[in-house]
Structure 1
Amino acid sequence: MHFLFLLTLITVLVSLEAFSQSGTAGIVDATNHIITYYQTAINLMYAIGALVGLIGAIKVYNKWNSGDHDTGKVATAWFGSCIFLVLVATVLSSFFGL
């Protein structure tokens, strides 16, 4: 019984040592993978910001032509979200040095 416990403990310790040796290489590999996705994500944010801006412009134009009084609130909401997306993409690109 003690022999089986000792054998299991040694196996666990050896496997932990094997996993800990590749930790730095794994972190570097994960960092490189994440960095490659940032430029794609930033471009996607710019594209979504452009679409939100176009949709917002159409919505504001329709409300303005129909004579609604809340055109300013709608314009602020749509264009504020567009500006937010562009700012987030710009901050991400400058923060991570891309």
Structure 2
Amino acid sequence: MALNICIMKRIKSIIALLLIATATMAQDGNAGINEATNQVKSYFSTGTNLMYAIGAIVGLVGAIKVYKKWNDGEHDTGKVASSWFGSCIFLVVVATVLKSFFGV
């Protein structure tokens, strides 16, 4: 019986210490959210520039692929050209819309 009381006291002490530790280590939620927002905003311009660069590379690769198919006389050249062109336009439009939507 005395052992159970001793264990219960220790458990209560541990819980009290944990509560005190979490209360002292708690941070302001607004400050954390603002810090995260500032970090994301700092990377946003770089990310949209990266999307533009990827769009340019995809466009160049697609142009070379379409040119090769066209010279080989393949019949699906139009389909390949429209899919590559569409993917380039999609990347540029998404980057532009995100930049204007988030106002960065």
Please identify the structure whose Cα radius of gyration is greater.
2
- In the superposition, the TM-score normalised over structure 1's length comes to 0.89
- Cα distance in 2 for residues equivalent to 1:86 and 1:39: 13
Overall identity of the aligned pairs, in %: 58
Aligned residue runs from structure 1 range 65-76, under 5 A: 65-76=71-82
Please, which runs of 5 or more residues in structure 1 have no aligned partner?
none
Aligned residues, how many?
A: 98
Amino acid corresponding to residue 47 of structure 2 in structure 1: A
* Counterpart-to-counterpart distance in 2, 1:7 and 1:58: 72
Q: Which residue in the other structure is 1:84 paired with?
A: 90
1:14 shift after superposition: 1.5
**Structure 2 regions of 5+ residues with no counterpart?**
1-6
Match status 1:21 vs 2:24:
no
Q: What is the aligned-residue RMSD (CA, Å)? A: 1.4
Q: Give the structure-2-normalised TM-score.
A: 0.85
